Structure 1
C-alpha cells in the first residue's frame, strides 16, 4: 500500500513540478488590453481569465497548446515556451471576427476619443441595427452629480428634453417628435431589465440611476428595438459600471457642492476575488432648489453580487433602492414667470417616491457560437403626491389637501438564445459565403398598480396620510396588466459589405382597470356640496399584436456604412389614459390604442480617426395619437385620440478633432461637435377638422446642440450651447396662453454650459462647471396637473465642483 501511495505521489509531483507559470498580456489590434479573455491549457485543461489590464497567468509544460477565446474575437492558439515565455510578459494579439470588425473599430475609436458612438452588430445576446447610440460616460465632461441631461445626451440627435428638475432626480426625454413626459415613449431599462412603473400599463420612469454609477447609456431605435418592446421611441438602457476585475477591493468617493444649497456624496466599493465579483454604491443628495419651495433630498443604493459557476456560466443578483422627497413649487402663470421665475405661490405641495428593484441573471455560453441568457426581475414601489392641485389662478386658502397615492408591483422573466452560424458554398468549404446570427426570445410579465385619490390632512409638511383611507373622497382603482411576448431577430452578413436583418415580435397584452370614483354636485354660489355619487367603473382590454421589422446595411468604406430600417410600433392604452384623476382633464370613453411604424435611412462612419459623422432621415406614422385638447362647450381639457400624425425629419451629428488633421501626434486635443435636427410633426387626420395640419405637441422644429472642448495633459475644458425652437403645448396650437397657463406656446430658448476637470497623477480628480452661465430665463413645459399646473421654470445659473478620490488595493 505504501508503494502505491509513493508511486501516485511521485507521479503527481512530476506533473506539478513539470509545469511552469506562463504569463503575458492579451491585446487587440489597437494594442489595447482585453479583460475577461478565457485562457485554457488544452492539454491539462487548466483555466484562467485575463485581468482588467489584460494580464494572465497559467500553468503549462513546454510545448502545451494554450487557447484564448472571447465573444467577437477569433480564437487564438499558441505554444507554451514558444509563443509565450515564463519570464517577461509576452504580448499576444487577438483579432476581431470578420463579421464585426468594421463596427467594432468605429465603436472603440468613438469610445476612446469622442465619448459617443454606435454599437457593434452583435453584443452579448443582443443584435443592434438601425439608428443606435451609446454614450460612454467615464471621460464625459459635465454635471454628472446632477445628471444634467443637456450635457449627458448632447451628442444624441433628435432628443427633446424637459428641464424642470435641476437635480437629476427624474429624467424626461423624447426622440423624433415623441413626448418627453417621464421618458414614457422609450422602453426604459437598467442592465437590460425593466425599471419603469409598469412596462405597458404605465410606462413612466420615476427612477433614474445616478450618472456617477453608470458606464454608458444605450439608445436603440429601428428594427432591433423590437427585441425590447413595442414602443415608438425604442430602447433606453442604463448600463451600470462593471465590478473591477483586477483587484479584490476598490473604493471610489465623489463629493459635490453646488449652488442653491446643493450637496451630493457618491461612494462605491467594488472588486473581484477568485470566481466571485461584487459592487455596491450609495448616493445621497440634497438641496434647496432653484425656486422657492423646492427643497429635496434623495437616497440611491445598489448592490450586485456575481459568481462564475464555471468558465462558461455566470450568475448574478442585483438590488436597487431609491427614495426621495421633494417640495413642489407648483406652476406659474405667464405673467408670474416674466416677473420672477424663481417665485412660488404653492408652499404645501410635496412629492415622494420609494423604488425597489430586484434582478437575477444567468448567462451560459454553451459554446463559442451559442449563448443562453435568462433574467428574472421584479419591483415593489410607490409614489405619493400631496398638496393643492387647483389651477394656478386659484389661491390656496389652506385647509385639507389632496393626495394621490400609487403602489406599483410587477415582475417578469425574459429568456434569450443567440446562435451564430455560417453557410459555406459546395466548392469552398473554408470561406463562409454567408455568416449570420439568430436571436430568439420570450418574455412573461405581470404588473399591478393601485391608485387612490382623496383628502389628506392640512398643514404644510410632507404628511402623506389619507383622512379616510378606507373610503377616499376621490377615487380608488386597481390596474392589472399581463403581457406575454415572443420575438426573433436574424442578421445575415453577406460577403464583406452587406448586412440584412429581419425581426418579428408577437405581443399578447391585457390591461384593465377596476374601482370607483365619486362625483360631487356643488352649489354655484356658496360652493357647498349638494350631493355625492359613488360610481363604479371597470374596463378590460385584451389584444394580440404581431409586429415586424427589417433592415439592411451596406459598408461603403472601411469605417462607413449606409443603412435603412422599417419597423412597426404599437402603444397600448395605459391606465392614465383610461382613468385620469385630474380636475382639469376628462377622458374620452372611446379612447383607443395607438399604432404606427418607423422608417429611416442613414449614413454614418469614421474618417481617419479625425471626423465622426452620423446623418439620418426618418419618417414616423403615428395612428390614433393620444393627446390633450380643449373639450368643446366646457373649460376642461380632454384626453382623447386626436388623430393620425406624421413625424419626419433629418438628424445629424458630427465631431472633428482638429489637431488630428496634421500628421504629427500631439498630446493636446481640440474638438468641435454639432448635433442638429429638423423635425416636422403634424396631424394629417383628426376628428376635429381644425386640427388637421397643426403641429404635434412638444416638438421643436429645430434643435441644435454644439460645443467645443480642449484637453491638454491632465486638463479638459468644454463649452456647449443648446437651442430649441418654439413648441406648442396642445393640438390646437394656441400661441396666446390661457389664464391658467396650461395651454400656450413654449418659446424658443438658448442655454450655455461650461465644464472642466483636472486629473491628478494618483487618486484624485477635480470636476467643475457652470450650467446656464448666461442665466437665461426659460421653460420647457406647461404642466396640466402635478407638479403644476402651469409653467414649470427651468433652472438659472448654477455652479458646482466635484472632488473624486479613487483607491484600489
Structure 2
C-alpha cells in the first residue's frame, strides 16, 4: 500500500509541478489587442479569457495544445513550450475569417480613427445589412453630459433633430424625412431590448440613457431592420458600456458645470471578479434652462450583474430607473419669438416622467456555429403633464389646470437562434464556396397604457393631483395591446465578393381602447356649461401583417462594398392619440395604419485608412401617412391620414485624415468630415386635392453637418457647423404662420459648436466647449400641445466644463 500511495503521490506532484502559467498577448492582423478571447487548454481543460488589453494567462504543461477562439476570427491552436514560451513575451496573432475580413478590418479602423463605422455582417445574434452606422462614444468630442444630439449624431446622414431640450433629457430624431417626434419612427432599444412606452400603440420614448454611460449608438436601416420590428426608421439601439474585465473594481466620476445654472454629476462603478461581472451608475442633473420657467432636475440609475455559468453561457440582469420633473416654458408666437426667444408666458406648466425597466438575458454558445439568445424585459412607467393647454394667443388667467396622466406597462420575451454554416467545401475541407448564417427568432409582447385627462388644482407648483380622480372631466381610457411575431433572416456569402440576405417577419397585432370621454355643451355668450354628455367608447383592431425584405452586397475593393436592398414597412396607429382632448387639434376617428416600403442603393468603404465614406440613394413609399392639416370649414387642425407620400433622396458622408496623406507617421491628426443629405418628400395622393404635390411636414430638403478636428498628444479640439433648410409644419405647406403659431414655416438655421478635451497622464481628463457659440436664434419645431403649443425656441450660446476622474484597483 505504501508503494501504491507513493506512486500516486508522485504522479500528482509531477502533474501539478509540470503545469506552468503561460502568459502573452493576443492581437489581430492590425496589431490591435483583442479583449475577451476564449482560451482553452485541450489537455487539462483549463479555461480563460483575455483581459481588456488582450493579455492572457493559462495553465499548461509542455506539449499541451492551447486553443484560442473569437467571433469573426479563425481558430488558433498553439503548442505550449514550442510555439509559446514561459518568458511571458508571447504575442500571438489571430486572423480574420476570410468572408468577413474586409468589413471587420474596416470597422476596427473606423472606430479608432473616425469615431464612426459600419457594423460587421454578423454581430452576436444579429445580422447587419444595408445602411447601418455605429457611433463610438469613448473618444467622441462634444457635450456628452447634456447629450447634444447635433454633436453626437453629426456623422449619421439624413437625420433631422428637434432641439427644444438643451439638457438632453429627451431626444427627438427622425431619418430620411420621418418625423423626429420622440424618435417614434425608430424601434428604440437599450442593450437590445425595448425602452419605449408601447412598441405598438405608443412607440414614443420619454427615456434616453445618458451619453456618459454609453459605449456606442447603433442605427440599422434597410432589410436587416425587420429583425427588430416594423418601423419605417429602423433600429436605434443604445449600447451601455460593458463592465470592465481586467479589474474587480473601477470607479469613474464626471462632473459638469455649464450655462444657465447647469450642473451634472455622473458616477459609475464596475468590475469583474472570477465568473461574476457587475456595474452600476447614477447621474443627477439640474438647471434653470435657457428660457424663463424652464428649471428641471433628473435622476438616472442603472445596475447590472452577470455570471459566466461556463465559458459558453452567460446570464445577466439589468435594472434602469429614471425620473425627472421639468417646468414647461410653453410656446411663443412668431412675434414673441422675434422679440425675445428666452421669454415665457406660461408659468404654471409642468411635466414629469418616472421610468423603470427590467431585463434578464441569457446567451449560450452551443458550439462555435450555433448561438441561442433569450431576453425577457418589462417596463412600469408613467408620464404626467399639468398646466394651461389653451392657444398661445390666450392669456392664462389662473384657476384650475388641465392634467394628463398616463401609466405604461409592458413586457415581453424575445428569443434568437443563429446557425452559421458552410456549403460546397473543397476536397481538403479548408474553404467553402458558400458560407452563411441563419437567424430565426420569435417575440411575444403585451402592453397596457392607461390615460386619464381631467381638471387639476390651481396654483403654479408641480401638484399632479386630479380634483375628481374617480370621475375625471376629460377622458379615461385603457389601451391594451398584444403582439406575437416570428422573424427569420438568412445571409450567405458566395465566393469572396458576393453577399445575399433574405428576411421576413410575420406580425400578429391586436390593439384596443376602452373607456369614456365627455362632451360639453357651452352657452355661446356667457360660456356656461349647459350639458355634459358622457360617451362610452371601445374599439379593437386585430391584424396579421407579413413583411419581407432582401438585399445584395458586392465587395468592390479590399475595403469597399456596393449594396442594395428593399424591405416592407408598417406602423400601427397610436390609439393613445385618438381620445386625448386637445383644444388645438381634433383627431380623425377613421384613421388607418400606415404601410409602405424602403429601398436603397449605396457604396461605402475605407480608402487606405485615410478616408471613410458612405454614399447612398433611397426611396420610401409611405402609404396612408398620418399628419396634421387644417380641418376644412373649421379653425381647428386635424390629425388624420393625409394620403400617400414618397421620400427619396441622397445621403453622403466622408471624413479624411489629412496628415495620413504623407508617408511619415505623426503623433497628431487633422480631420475634416462632411455629412450632407438631399431629401424630397412630397404627397402623391391625398383626400384633400390641394395637398397633392405638397412637401411632407418637418422635412428639410438640404441638411449639412461639417466639422474640423485635431488631436495633438493629449489635446483634442473640434469645431462643427450644422445647417437645415426651411421646413413646413403641416401638410398645407403654409408659409405664413397662424395666429397661434401652430402652423407655419420653420425657417432655415445655422448652428456652430466648439469642443475640446485634455487627457492627463493618469486618472484625470478635462472636457470643455461652447454650444451655439454664434448665439443663433432659431427653432426646430412648432408644437400643437405639450410642451407648447407654439414655437419652441432652441438654446442660445452656452458653455460647459467637465472634469473626469477614473481609478482602477
Normalised by the shorter chain, which TM-score bucket?
A: over 0.9
Matching of residue 193 in structure 1 with residue 193 in structure 2: yes
1:433 alignment partner in structure 2: 433
Structure 1 equivalent of residue 393 of structure 2? 393
Q: Deviations over 1:142-197 (max 9, x none)?
A: 00000000000000000000000000000000000000000000000000000000
Distance of 1:576 and 1:797 partners within structure 2: 37
| Paired residues of 2:517 and 2:579 also in contact (CA < 8 A) | no
Within 2, Cα distance between the matches of 1:571 and 1:607? 39
Equivalent pair of 2:352/2:385 in contact (CA under 8 Å)? yes
TM-superposed CA distance for 1:4, in Å, is 5.6
Question: How much does 1:3 deviate?
Answer: 6.3
SS in structure 2 of the partner of residue 100 of structure 1? helix
Partners of 1:580 and 1:586 within 8 A in 2: no
Query: Matched residue of 2:383: which SS?
Result: strand
CA offsets 1:91-146 (integer angstroms, 9 cap, x no match) = 01001111111111110111000000110000000000000000000000000000
Which range moves more in the overlay, 525-534 or 580-589?
580-589
Q: Deviations over 1:280-332 (max 9, x none)?
A: 00000000000000000000000000000001000000000000000000000
Please give the per-residue CA displacement for 1:17-47, whole angstroms capped at 9, x wherever unaligned: 1111111111111111111111111111111
Structure 1 residue 578: Cα displacement: 3.1
User: How many angstroms apart in 2 are the aligned matches of 1:578 and 1:416?
Assistant: 35
Cα distance in 1, alignment partners of residues 198 and 163 from structure 2: 23
Q: Which residue in the other structure is 1:752 paired with?
A: 752
1:425 to partner: Cα distance: 5.0
Q: Tell me how far apart the structure 2 counterparts of residues 4 and 298 of structure 1 sit (CA, whole Å).
A: 71
Taking the aligned partners of 1:584 and 1:532, their CA distance within structure 2 comes to 20
User: 1:183 is matched with which residue?
Assistant: 183
Structure 1 residue 2, shift from structure 2 partner: 6.7
Corresponding position of 2:322: 322
Q: What residue is the counterpart of 2:418 in the other structure?
A: 418
- 1:88 shift after superposition: 2.6
Hey, what does 1:461 align to over in structure 2? 461
Q: Which residue of 1 aligns with 2:335?
A: 335
Q: Shift in Å at residue 577 of structure 1?
A: 4.1
Quote the residue 2:34 is aligned against. Answer: 34
Q: 1:57 to 1:600 in 2, by over 3 A?
A: same
Q: Where does residue 135 of structure 1 map in the other structure?
A: 135
1:5 shift after superposition: 5.2
8 Å CA contact retained: 2:64, 2:80: yes
The structural deviation recorded for 1:83 is 1.2
In structure 2, distance between residues paired with 1:753 and 1:297:
24
State the partner residue of 2:689.
689
Please name the residue that 2:408 is paired with. 408
- For residue 633 of structure 1, report the CA deviation from its aligned partner: 1.2
Find the counterpart in structure 2 of residue 236 from structure 1: 236
Q: Distance in 2 between matches of 1:124 and 1:206?
A: 28
8 Å CA contact 1:511, 1:574 repeated in 2 = no
Kindly report the root-mean-square deviation, in angstroms, between the aligned alpha carbons of the 2 structures: 1.0
Distance 2:199 2:223 in 1: 19
Note if 1:374 corresponds to 2:371: no
Distance 1:426 1:38 in 2: 28
* Residue aligning to 1:779: 779
Provide the rounded CA distance (Å) in 2 between the counterparts of 1:577 and 1:353: 18
1:440-462 Cα distance to aligned partner (Å, 9 max, x none): 00000000000000011110000
CA shift for structure 1 position 574: 1.5
Give 2:203's aligned residue. 203
Q: What SS class does the counterpart of residue 336 from structure 1 fall into?
A: helix
SS of the residue aligned with 2:99? coil
Q: Secondary structure at the match of 2:105?
A: helix
CA distance in 2, matches of 1:88, 1:728: 65
Deviations 1:555-583 (A, max 9, x none): 00000000001000000112134323212
3-state SS of paired residue (2:168): coil
Are the aligned partners of 1:646 and 1:681 in contact in 2 as well (CA < 8 Å)? yes
For 2:161 and 2:616, locate their aligned partners in 1 and report how far apart those are by CA, in whole Å.
Answer: 20
Residues 510-552 of structure 1 show CA distances to partners (whole Å, capped at 9, x for unaligned) of 1111000011111122111111010011111000000000000
Question: Post-superposition shift, 1:429?
Answer: 4.0
Q: CA deviation at 1:733?
A: 0.2
Counterpart of 2:71? 71
1:491 aligns with 2:497: no
Q: Distance in 2 between matches of 1:412 and 1:4?
A: 61
Question: 1:780-799 counterparts in 2 under 5 A?
Answer: 780-799=780-799
Cα deviation, 1:638-663, whole Å, max 9, x if unaligned, reads 11100000000000000010000000
Would the aligned equivalents of 2:479 and 2:576 in 1 still touch at CA under 8 Å?
no
The answer for the alignment partner of 2:671 in structure 1 is 671
Asked if 2 retains the 8 angstrom alpha-carbon contact of 1:191 and 1:240, the reply is yes
Contact 2:22 2:88 in 1 (8 A): no
Kindly report which structure 2 residues correspond to 1:718-757, keeping only aligned pairs within 5 A, or say none: 718-757=718-757
Name the TM-score, length of structure 1 as normaliser. Answer: 0.99
* SS in structure 2 at match of 1:10: helix
Contact 1:162 1:781 in 2 (8 A): yes
CA distance in 2, matches of 1:3, 1:513: 84
5+ residue gaps, structure 1, are: none
CA contact (8 A) 2:475 2:579 kept: no
Within 1, Cα distance between the matches of 2:485 and 2:300? 32
- Which region of structure 1 is more displaced relative to structure 2, 84-93 or 272-281? 84-93
Query: What secondary structure, in the 3-state scheme, does the structure 1 residue paired with 2:444 have?
Result: strand
Partner of 1:332, secondary structure, is coil
Query: SS at the partner of 1:504?
Result: strand
Counterpart for residue 281 of structure 2: 281
1:765 is aligned to 765
How far apart, CA to CA, are the structure 1 residues paired with 2:396 and 2:115?
48
Counterparts in 2 of 1:427 and 1:89: CA distance versus 1, 3 Å:
closer
SS at match of 1:443: strand
Structure 1 residue aligned with 2:254: 254
- Report whether the alignment pairs 1:504 with 2:504: yes
Partner of 2:50: 50
Per-residue CA deviations over 1:46-98 (Å, capped at 9, x if unaligned) read 11111111111111110110000111110000000111111232001001111
Q: Which residue of 2 aligns with 1:475?
A: 475
Contact kept in structure 1, 2:286 and 2:297, CA below 8 Å: yes
Give the match for residue 110 of structure 2: 110
Q: 1:6 to 1:764 in 2, by over 3 A?
A: same
Cα separation, 1, equivalents of 2:61 and 2:429: 34
Contact 2:426 2:432 in 1 (8 A): no
CA distance in 1, matches of 2:435, 2:283: 45
Report if aligned partners of 1:600, 1:617 keep a CA contact under 8 Å in 2. Answer: yes
Unaligned runs of 5+ in 2: none
What secondary structure does 1:151 align onto? helix
SS at match of 1:141: coil
Label 1:74 to 1:427 Cα distance change in 2 as closer, same or farther (>3 A): closer
Q: Please give the alpha-carbon distance, in whole angstroms, between the structure 1 residues aligned to 2:772 and 2:425.
A: 61
Distance 1:93 1:700 in 2: 48
Cα distance in 2 for residues equivalent to 1:4 and 1:339: 99
Q: 1:5 to 1:479 in 2, by over 3 A?
A: farther
Alignment partner, residue 223 of structure 1: 223
The 3-state SS of whatever aligns with 1:337 is helix
What is the Cα deviation at residue 634 of structure 1? 1.1
Match of 2:646 in 1: 646
Secondary structure of 1:525 counterpart: coil
Q: How many residues align?
A: 809
How far apart, CA to CA, are the structure 2 residues paired with 1:368 and 1:258? 50
| Residue 105 (structure 2) pairs with residue 100 (structure 1) | no
